[in-house]
Amino acid sequence: MIRNKSIEVKEGGVRLDAALLLHFPTSTRAFAREAIESGAVLVDGRRAAKGLKLRGGETIEVRELAEACDNVVAPDLSVRLREVFADDAILAYDKPSGMPVQPLKRSELGTLMNGVAARHPECIPLGDRPLLAGAVHRIDADTSGLVLVARTAEAFENLRGQFAAQTVEKTYLALVEGTVAAGGTLENDLVHDPTLPFCRMIDIHHNRLTRAQCEGLKPLHAVTNFKPVEFISTETEEQTLLEVTIFTGVTHQIRAQLALAGMHIVNDRLYGAFAVENMTGHCLHALAAKFRHPASGDPMDLRTPYPPWARA
């Protein structure tokens, strides 16, 4: 962390955030902008916008500026963890719906990895994405269930290699609207919808995008197997509990593919499901994972308890 530094600007025509990086190369552009916006950087004694173009001759006072090495998950003991497995190499947790796996910035608290960092600080420096802190995969904030975390660099590289090779078998439970009479396999080439300011996946081959909008998009092939395991029928609606198995790991894969096939996950309004009164999140749960233990090589089959909507 850089604190209480003053610099005299000689060069003109440079943006304030760029000037900070010229003088403090151990920081990042994101941290420079964050410091400017928070008022931790003053120009001639006054707050300034990050896009300010310097004339030359100004004095920049840096009260506090984070460096790249400061970009780590902050420990948060208030986060309650549901541990389902732990040894010297790996940890496994049952993440509740509504809790993000990781923070989006170092000051954020309340995520799964904040809680892990508070109890297992050895995880904090692991991996190539600092704010993942050893988590070898992610699930959506509103999806509940299994998340695997490495405790050593060797375990992290081994597990990430298994995920990359698509040898990790992941099983989910999905409660969908309507009756699904038989199982099957879904295959789609998914991309982020470039017309939306938020993440929503679409099939590159079946959409309303123009040819120009499709240019530059990089589709990811997703394969999802599903089978019905229970039918729920009431006076007003019918639902089906599906067991879903995937080896690929595309963003929103199960949610998008089931919706594209006309099977909408209950309360997943992003993908076209009806809103359910008094329900937060959607009915998708990462139930289990089969993989090889990163240290011993033994087969592992880790499972989490059924969520309340599946038990009911």
Do residues 159 and 289 share a domain? Answer: no
267 touches 259 (CB < 8 A)? no
Residue 244 lies in a domain: yes
Do residues 226 and 187 share a domain? Answer: yes
* The domain boundary residue, chosen from 70, 103, 129: 70
What is the structure's pLDDT at 312? 67
| CATH of residue 131 | 3.30.2350.10
Question: Facing residues of 95 across strands?
Answer: 145
What is the structure's pLDDT at 8? 86
Residue 274 lies in a domain: yes
Do residues 66 and 105 share a domain? Answer: no
267/262 Cα distance (integer angstroms):
14
What is the structure's pLDDT at 255? 97
| CATH of residue 30 | 3.10.290.10
Q: Are strands 284-292 and 169-177 parallel, antiparallel or unpaired?
A: antiparallel
Residue 55 lies in a domain: yes
305/169 Cα distance (integer angstroms):
17
Question: What are the CA-CA distances from residue 218 to residues 48, 134, 137, 175, 251 (Å)?
Answer: 39, 27, 20, 30, 13
5/19 Cα distance (integer angstroms):
14
Type of residue at 237: E
Do residues 158 and 181 share a domain? Answer: no
225/206 Cα distance (integer angstroms):
20
Q: What is the pLDDT tens value at each position of the chain, 312 positions in all? A: 889 888 888 777 888 888 888 888 888 888 888 888 888 988 888 888 878 888 888 888 898 888 877 778 999 999 999 999 999 999 999 999 999 999 998 889 999 999 999 999 999 999 888 899 999 999 999 999 999 999 999 999 999 999 999 999 999 999 999 999 999 999 999 999 999 999 999 999 988 888 888 888 999 999 999 999 999 887 788 999 999 999 999 999 999 999 999 999 999 999 999 999 888 899 999 999 999 999 999 999 999 999 999 876
DSSP assigned state of 274: P
| Neighbour count for residue 310 (Cβ, 10 Å) | 17
132 touches 117 (CB < 8 A)? no
**pTM of structure:** 0.85
Query: What total of structural domains would you count in the chain?
Result: 3
What is the structure's pLDDT at 161? 96
264/73 Cα distance (integer angstroms):
34
Identify the domain containing residue 227 by its residue range: 171-311
